[in-house]
Structure 1
């Protein structure tokens, strides 16, 4: 079945993944609806509930700190019944932890915290009635407030404590710190941010207490018939970056040949104070260096700089994690769509996509771009206009004869731009150069598109075999693959109203994504290296600074091998 197991590490990843799972749930068809083009067995697992009934739940492990799950219960209604008959045959995942044998024979004392009340939206889902009021930024307090699916009890893993609230200098002198603070010494500021090293320590503590892979991940992997790969969604610029680094290291040791993708999330930092901004970039640099050595593909993602008036509605709130995670989830869910399609052809798995993008075996960092609410013809037209505005020569652009899918540039670019401020003049020079693309996977989805929309395309979705792919590599030609999917991105009632040209009655929208490895990755890695090891050397300890600088330089150099051309002489020496 080519299963994919998902790991969700941290609160930001859970906001994104909740939109992802809600979309997967919407693809199920019932009765006379016909067969869905999505193979549900790839991301979902069949099991048996506590009462013996059949269940169908996501193949995922969800990590969050205490209190981060909101009203979501570890043991949901599918498992919160009487203990099942021991004579039945079950897998390790079919029995919830609550029915496991205890080594303690004495009486149990249960202490319960005040429960978090579910949102009105969640209550409506539980009661089977339509929500009375639509969700908004004030009613979404946790990612569970818009969650539409059940999870297996073993999927929910609570780790660590919430960040401590630190007193302000004003409060220490008997003053007040404003909103949310009390009087006198009780005044508080924002919670203390955990460091990258705190994440490492948290993983080490959990792993010492009980082997974290054996307890949490292995049961999901071992029940898979033919594992396609693992996808990890994690924020990399905070403590979860340290946690993810150690987790990836253990995964690679345990599953040496498995394909592992990391969606490396980053909070926008351009408006943060300089010290905090540099600290977060240093966390990101550490995470990317470790992920580069362990993951098959790393895709750094951040919410693009605003405004995007041609794409986003005026109702988009960049301060709402519910909104920003919806934007990221649209791109992630679309870019991975080929890996879970029911139709079988070359290129609909994670391993093929990795080979497509990784030209030399060292290019494991990729860019992701997206266009929404645009049919394919408009996407192509706008891409050509952007090339002309940039002054790029069509003859040198991409590889297809009509340039429709060769190194496609889309309006929403999720590659973080915050490092470029340190080397803005260099970035401006590089922007004027023609792009160097190594590999690209384009997904064009639209439930309303017609076959004639692609009638003039010469780059069809045939799929290159690995021999043809290598021949193009040796000829120093980019490799591009496009997937046409007759399935729009669903706009559910759990999804915020953020896109232009949509209304509350819009069921789905066209989305195009382009996942690519190109020269721009090298430029951003070099900028990040300059920022955290030269421009603000205090952010990295002396003992780690040189190693981190060399590692980032090596990652950047991987995007130069064999790609020197006449018009670009001297580019690598700048």
Structure 2
């Protein structure tokens, strides 16, 4: 067994995670459905990598994500923090109010009602759903979600273990107010929260036979960055040999301000410095605007709705981690090719003379069909960097790339074979003459596309067909097509270790130096209030300098000459 434990910390991280687990739930359902496409029934993916088997006190078998989710109190909407499968009483520690003997003022709000989607799940489980009304209900459900999602549980179709969902007890705050590193700095260590969170992680890790890694998603746009940093520091001490893949995710909504303040800039610098020091691979995800990017070529994305943007990032997360759960097969397999574990990917991207732990993640959804003369270029040119502040078309002959392609189509209605995908990728790199070919190009392929579950947002344009194929003419007048129109999507993702990430690093290093360290710096009061001394900041700056010099040796030379 090669288990992976997933951690989701913060509001947007849980939005991304909710879509991710919906994809997995859909795969499980399609694999057991005798009427589904055979490509889903023989996907050769080991779902036990992400899931654990168990049973309730009543002896009912369960299959739940190996997940620890952390968020603010009250963030679960209509879902109980104990999940939906187990009817046990809460074992979490009581709020501090139970030890208070003075007057208590109780403020109670009306419980939230289930939306149409959650009602339909409940009715289905109660076996009272009516098949005749299913199509109408599905249309109503899709419309309800597109208009009314408020929290990540509103569209989650997965069941969760009682140890999975953790709310930060005693911290009643809107996510908009939990908006910088200093606010979250002591949250993990206070009120036994850190101990409780670590106990939940320990529950999942200790039952693993051979854990291959931890996949950690954090919404690093505010106070959750500090919570995650303290959590990661604790993990580094306890799980020394377990590699951590860290995804820092941000919604376009958290980046809407036209001009970053001194506090914002210092938050970005300190957040990155702290988080990156406790992981094997750090992947920033979150463009200031998806709507204005190449990702929106065939999609209709609203930056103001986390429900939509998180779906794009979750699809990339699903695709990029598929090699970790591919069943080992022979080299001539017709379904999947080139499985790898977390440690192999880390060594590939960080171990070729550069100790660069910051990777870029690119994605194409839907990936282009491999047909006609277009195959030589569109596979690479269609990829959109989901990592912010990177240089386009940089020449770096020391770059390392690892690509994963799911469900590629040979033409509008024909699935491509693994060998055809390999040939197309080779041709793409050979024809990409605008920049040097990377030092290493790794490729993993699965014929199983990304399934589109019912609660997926209606983001597909009218040039996207039922199997995610790119059509030559619009299929309808509607600009917003969803899961009732598009059933699966081919997806391509690419990890890159490249000097293209230099602007991201240099901006944070420069802001830390200019705003936090220099004598009389504008942000000196801010970092002091956050509890950071000058020596600690200088150590952070030195670590950032090493990262920059790994990718740009000239930087080290110029620093020495200064």
Q: Same fold (TM over 0.5)?
A: yes
Identify the residue that residue 485 of structure 1 maps to in structure 2: 446
Identify the residue that residue 224 of structure 1 maps to in structure 2: 208
Whether 1:526 and 2:519 are equivalent positions in the alignment is no
Identify the residue that residue 363 of structure 2 maps to in structure 1: 370
Identify the residue that residue 157 of structure 1 maps to in structure 2: 166
Q: 1:283 to 1:99 in 2, by over 3 A?
A: closer
- Asked whether the 8 Å contact 2:73–2:170 carries over to 1, the reply is yes
- Asked whether the 8 Å contact 1:369–1:413 carries over to 2, the reply is yes
Q: How high is the TM-score relative to the length of structure 2?
A: 0.76
Give the deviation of 1:480 after TM superposition.
1.5
Identify the residue that residue 68 of structure 2 maps to in structure 1: 61
Spell out, residue by residue over 1:162-207, the C-alpha distance to the aligned partner (whole angstroms, 9 max, x if none).
Answer: 6657xxxxxxxxxxxxxxxxxxxxxxxx95344312322001114x
Identify the residue that residue 192 of structure 1 maps to in structure 2: 177
Greater Cα shift, 280-289 or 12-21: 280-289
Whether 1:509 and 2:489 are equivalent positions in the alignment is yes
Greater Cα shift, 307-316 or 374-383: 374-383
* Residues in 2 aligned to 1:493 and 1:505: alpha-carbon distance in whole angstroms: 10
* Residues in 2 aligned to 1:158 and 1:270: alpha-carbon distance in whole angstroms: 25
Identify the residue that residue 385 of structure 2 maps to in structure 1: 413
* Residues in 1 aligned to 2:422 and 2:258: alpha-carbon distance in whole angstroms: 52
SS of 1:520's equivalent in the other structure is helix
* Residues in 1 aligned to 2:373 and 2:256: alpha-carbon distance in whole angstroms: 34
Whether 1:555 and 2:539 are equivalent positions in the alignment is no
Greater Cα shift, 542-551 or 132-141: 542-551
Equivalent of 1:339 in 318, 324, 329: 324
Equivalent of 2:268 in 250, 268, 284: 284
Give the deviation of 1:440 after TM superposition.
1.2
* Residues in 2 aligned to 1:482 and 1:65: alpha-carbon distance in whole angstroms: 39
Give the deviation of 1:283 after TM superposition.
2.0
Spell out, residue by residue over 1:96-152, the C-alpha distance to the aligned partner (whole angstroms, 9 max, x if none).
Answer: 73899xxx9xxxx99975322111111111112443511444311111110001101
- Asked whether the 8 Å contact 1:521–1:556 carries over to 2, the reply is no
Identify the residue that residue 334 of structure 2 maps to in structure 1: none
- Asked whether the 8 Å contact 1:237–1:282 carries over to 2, the reply is no
* Residues in 2 aligned to 1:379 and 1:562: alpha-carbon distance in whole angstroms: 43
* Residues in 2 aligned to 1:63 and 1:497: alpha-carbon distance in whole angstroms: 28
Equivalent of 1:125 in 118, 121, 125: 121
The CA RMSD over aligned residues, in Å, is: 3.6
Whether 1:148 and 2:157 are equivalent positions in the alignment is yes
Q: 1:162 to 1:383 in 2, by over 3 A?
A: farther
Equivalent of 1:255 in 211, 234, 239: 239
Q: 1:318 to 1:513 in 2, by over 3 A?
A: same
Segments of structure 2 that go 5 or more residues without pairing to the other structure are: 99-103, 331-337, 410-414, 428-436, 465-480, 528-532
* Residues in 2 aligned to 1:454 and 1:197: alpha-carbon distance in whole angstroms: 48
Q: How high is the TM-score relative to the length of structure 1?
A: 0.74
Equivalent of 1:97 in 75, 88, 91: 91
Greater Cα shift, 140-149 or 69-78: 69-78
Give the deviation of 1:286 after TM superposition.
1.6
Q: How does 1:336-415 map to 2 (within 5 A)?
A: 336-344=321-329, 347-358=339-350, 359-360=352-353, 362-375=355-368, 377=370, 381=374, 384=377, 408=380, 410-415=382-387
* Residues in 1 aligned to 2:74 and 2:156: alpha-carbon distance in whole angstroms: 16
Identify the residue that residue 311 of structure 1 maps to in structure 2: 296
Identify the residue that residue 546 of structure 1 maps to in structure 2: 538
Identify the residue that residue 170 of structure 1 maps to in structure 2: none
